[in-house]
Amino acid sequence: MYDRRPPRSRMTFETDDRARVTLVSHPFGLRITGEIDRGNRHLLAGALTWALLAGSHDIRLDLSGLTFIDVAGMRLIVTAAARLSSDREVILDPISPAVRRVLSLTGWDQAPGLRVCS
């Protein structure tokens, strides 16, 4: 079971040899760095599940340090955005060129509940 309380400060949620997910309390969200693919997608899935349950705020994802994300990983983000109530969003800010490319190729930059910045 995930602790539903927002973190008091930045802390590492989960990490492996290729990716790191860090909780950020203000603005509420996650910083995801490294590479997300089949081998470690569970890190992203777990962190997004926690963020969906942890509060009533928008969820800001800092993806500026993400050097690679496969389509299935991006689908996790889009699906999380779609699961939010209409008064919440998943905000991608900032994002890396790799993320921008996947969003553009899939058309998910216009997905419901998802706001792409910078």
CATH number of the domain residue 28 falls in: 3.30.750.24
Question: What proportion of the chain, given as a percentage, has pLDDT over 70?
Answer: 86
Within a domain: residue 100? yes
With a cut of 60, say whether residue 3 has pLDDT above it: no
Asked, for residue 37, whether it belongs to a domain, the answer is: yes
Considering the domain boundaries, does residue 18 fall inside one? Answer: yes
**pLDDT per residue as tens digits for the range 28-71:** 999 999 999 999 999 999 999 999 998 789 999 999 999 999 99
Cross-strand partners of 32: 21
CA dihedral of 94, 33, 56, 89, whole degrees rounded to 10 = 40
Is 57 inside any structural domain?
A: yes
- Is residue 94 classed as helix, strand or coil in its secondary structure? strand
Which domain range does residue 39 map to? 11-116
Where are the extended beta strands (E) located within 18-101? 19-24, 29-36, 59-63, 66-69, 90-95
| Residue 31 within a domain | yes
| pLDDT exceeds cutoff 80 at 6 | no
Please count the structural domains in the chain.
1
Say if 95 falls within a structural domain. yes
Higher per-residue confidence, 69 vs 12: 69
pTM, entire model: 0.86
